[in-house]
């Protein structure tokens, strides 16, 4: 089997890296997800390389090298505007802490390196000519759309339980099924997930809910009782039924949280982000989506919702609302965008009546929270077209209908 390297720009661009390593007397191959995706016919992502050269040699060969994990044999080489992760051929043993192998041993043969990889579809290498090195029948697994552990699945999951999550995530991304023995091992060893850092689980969980075949992936989590190993889900066993009503891919953790918080409000966004150890950014986005969903639930789609929803959250809102209210997310997104173009103002600074205008007409009234509240009311009235965005009209409304002095 041969792959036409020239038909993949990303491989083509990385060829000089392989050639340079080879010119120094070492071997180098394309490995990992990019090889898998190229063989499947999917868009390829980051190009990773495996090499017989140890990190110190790579440091000598290239000018720009970032030593990200020298002790594990991994460096990043910057070349022609791209970054390549180059990992020295290695075998692993140990894994007392279920995360890092106790011993990383550099080896001289790519086949030994492929043996430590998780699934047969991920254990294929390509050389610079596009020749495939496939000692574990990964190509056949691609042909039959199977996720199969390299070697004994029980041992492989014991070594690194994250592989259980990775298996389910690949089901979701690729629409593959899990080979029988690998599945049996997942069913038997799900509890090992509790031994690994929640951040690592979170990355795979998020990718799982972003995959096209998430419904199948969720079924597998159900079959293998994996949900009770996840934060929050373990305390609310019924919550996984809600996971089963997610019918199309979500865009990321902020959406996942918004969805589940709406389904089960007693667990807050705060709880989700703390227990899953998510970033502030995710938490804030979840808050933004959640506010829009709450508003949509009582008012439907209107100018005020669209005005308040940050542009970057439009797609997220459309997906979460789409699932909750069985709407087509693309249509919903279009409707939000259309309504957005008709807004009278797009932010508070465009309001024809500002805080200082308020002080001008109420010089005696002490400043206080009423200012913010009144401005918000004005903003809402203008956005909802109950008031024109006109200084005099607003001024009249303020003095006539809601004299702040009487508050």
Binding residues for ligand ATP, rule: CB under 6 A, are 32-33, 45, 48, 117-118, 122, 160, 162-163
Residue with smaller CB distance to ligand ATP, 159 or 255? 159
**What are 98's two structure tokens?**
């279920």
Tell me which of Mg ion, ligand ATP, none is bound by residue 162, counting a contact when its beta carbon lies within the kind-specific cut-off of 5 to 8 angstroms. Answer: ligand ATP
Whether 141 and 121 have beta carbons less than 8 Å apart is answered as yes
CB-neighbour burial class of residue 338 (10 A; exposed 0-12, middle 13-18, buried 19+): exposed
In which residue are the tokens 């060969």 written?
Answer: 61
Tell me which of ligand ATP, Mg ion, none is bound by residue 199, counting a contact when its beta carbon lies within the kind-specific cut-off of 5 to 8 angstroms. Answer: none
Using CB atoms, what's the residue nearest to Mg ion?
33
The footprint of Mg ion on residues 46-75 (CB under 5 A) is 46
Residue with smaller CB distance to ligand ATP, 136 or 276? 136
Residues 196, 194: Cα–Cα separation, whole Å:
6
Residue with smaller CB distance to ligand ATP, 45 or 368? 45
Using CB atoms, what's the residue nearest to ligand ATP?
33
Tell me which of ligand ATP, Mg ion, none is bound by residue 118, counting a contact when its beta carbon lies within the kind-specific cut-off of 5 to 8 angstroms. Answer: ligand ATP
Tell me which of ligand ATP, Mg ion, none is bound by residue 117, counting a contact when its beta carbon lies within the kind-specific cut-off of 5 to 8 angstroms. Answer: ligand ATP
Considering the complex, what minimum distance in angstroms separates the CB of residue 91 from Mg ion? 20
**88 SS3 class:** strand
Residues comprising the chain, all counted: 407
Whether 256 and 273 have beta carbons less than 8 Å apart is answered as no
Interstrand relation of 146-147 and 177-178 (parallel, antiparallel or unpaired): parallel
Residue 292 CB coordination number (10 Å): 25
Considering the complex, what minimum distance in angstroms separates the CB of residue 137 from ligand ATP? 15
Return the H-helix or E-strand segment holding 199: helix 198-210
Size of the site for Mg ion (CB under 5 A): 2
**What are 92's two structure tokens?**
């692993």
Tell me which of Mg ion, ligand ATP, none is bound by residue 130, counting a contact when its beta carbon lies within the kind-specific cut-off of 5 to 8 angstroms. Answer: none
Considering the complex, what minimum distance in angstroms separates the CB of residue 85 from ligand ATP? 8
Residue with smaller CB distance to Mg ion, 17 or 332? 17
Tell me which of Mg ion, ligand ATP, none is bound by residue 160, counting a contact when its beta carbon lies within the kind-specific cut-off of 5 to 8 angstroms. Answer: ligand ATP
Helix ranges restricted to H, 194-302: 198-210, 214-223, 239-243, 253-263, 269-275, 280-299
Residue with smaller CB distance to ligand ATP, 68 or 334? 68
Residue with smaller CB distance to ligand ATP, 42 or 331? 42
Considering the complex, what minimum distance in angstroms separates the CB of residue 162 from ligand ATP? 5
Helix ranges restricted to H, 32-147: 33-40, 55-61, 110-115, 138-143
Tell me which of Mg ion, ligand ATP, none is bound by residue 82, counting a contact when its beta carbon lies within the kind-specific cut-off of 5 to 8 angstroms. Answer: none
Tell me which of Mg ion, ligand ATP, none is bound by residue 134, counting a contact when its beta carbon lies within the kind-specific cut-off of 5 to 8 angstroms. Answer: none
**298 SS3 class:** helix
Backbone angles phi, psi at 84, to 5 degrees: -125, 130
Site track for Mg ion across 26-45, x = CB under 5 A:
-------x------------
Residues 52, 399: Cα–Cα separation, whole Å:
79
Residues 89, 110: Cα–Cα separation, whole Å:
6
Considering the complex, what minimum distance in angstroms separates the CB of residue 42 from ligand ATP? 9
Residues 375, 215: Cα–Cα separation, whole Å:
46
Considering the complex, what minimum distance in angstroms separates the CB of residue 184 from ligand ATP? 19
Considering the complex, what minimum distance in angstroms separates the CB of residue 33 from Mg ion? 4
Residues 58, 64: Cα–Cα separation, whole Å:
10
Residues 6+ positions from 85 with CB-CB distance below 8 Å: 46, 48, 49, 68, 74, 75, 76
How close are the terminal C-alpha atoms of the chain, in Å? 80
Considering the complex, what minimum distance in angstroms separates the CB of residue 74 from Mg ion? 12
Considering the complex, what minimum distance in angstroms separates the CB of residue 22 from Mg ion? 23
Residue with smaller CB distance to ligand ATP, 32 or 153? 32
**4 SS3 class:** coil
Considering the complex, what minimum distance in angstroms separates the CB of residue 163 from ligand ATP? 5
Residue with smaller CB distance to ligand ATP, 172 or 258? 172
Residue with smaller CB distance to ligand ATP, 69 or 404? 69
> What residues line the site for Mg ion (CB under 5 A)?
33, 46
């Amino acid at each position: 089997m041969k792959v036409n390297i020239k038909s993949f720009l990303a491989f083509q661009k990385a060829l000089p890296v392989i050639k340079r390593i080879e010119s120094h007397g070492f071997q180098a191959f394309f490995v990992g997800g990019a090889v898998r995706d190229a063989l499947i016919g999917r868009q390829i992502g980051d190009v990773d390389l495996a090499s017989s050269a140890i990190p110190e040699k790579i440091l000598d060969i290239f000018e720009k090298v970032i030593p990200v994990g020298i002790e594990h044999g991994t460096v990043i080489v910057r070349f022609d505007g791209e970054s390549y992760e180059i990992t020295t051929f290695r075998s692993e043993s140990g894994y007392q802490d279920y995360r890092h192998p106790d011993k990383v041993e550099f080896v001289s043969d790519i086949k030994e390196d492929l043996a430590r990889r998780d699934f047969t579809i991920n254990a294929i290498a390509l050389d610079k000519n596009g020749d495939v090195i496939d000692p574990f029948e990964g190509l056949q697994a691609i042909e039959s759309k199977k996720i199969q552990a390299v070697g004994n699945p029980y041992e492989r999951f014991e070594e690194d339980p994250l592989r259980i999550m990775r298996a389910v995530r690949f089901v979701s991304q690729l629409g593959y099924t899990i080979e029988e023995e690998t599945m049996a091992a997942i069913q038997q060893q799900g509890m090992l997930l509790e031994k690994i850092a929640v951040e690592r689980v979170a990355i795979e969980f998020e990718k799982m809910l972003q995959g096209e075949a998430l419904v199948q992936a969720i079924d597998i989590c159900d079959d293998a009782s994996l949900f009770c190993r996840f934060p929050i889900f373990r305390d609310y066993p019924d919550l996984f039924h809600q996971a089963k009503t997610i019918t199309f891919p979500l865009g990321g953790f902020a959406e996942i949280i918004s969805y589940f918080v709406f389904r089960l409000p007693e667990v807050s966004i705060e709880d989700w982000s703390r227990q899953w150890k998510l970033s502030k950014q995710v938490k804030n986005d979840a808050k933004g989506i959640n506010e829009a969903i709450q508003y949509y639930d009582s008012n439907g789609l209107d100018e005020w919702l669209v005005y308040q929803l940050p542009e970057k959250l439009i797609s997220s809102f459309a997906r979460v609302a789409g699932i909750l209210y069985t709407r087509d997310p693309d249509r919903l997104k279009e409707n939000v965008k259309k309504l957005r173009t008709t807004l009278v103002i797009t932010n508070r600074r465009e309001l024809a009546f500002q805080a200082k205008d308020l002080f001008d007409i109420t010089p005696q009234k002490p400043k206080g929270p009423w200012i913010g509240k009144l401005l918000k009311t004005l903003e809402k009235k203008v956005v909802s077209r109950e008031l024109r965005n006109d200084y005099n009209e607003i001024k009249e409304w303020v003095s006539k209908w809601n004299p702040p002095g009487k508050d």
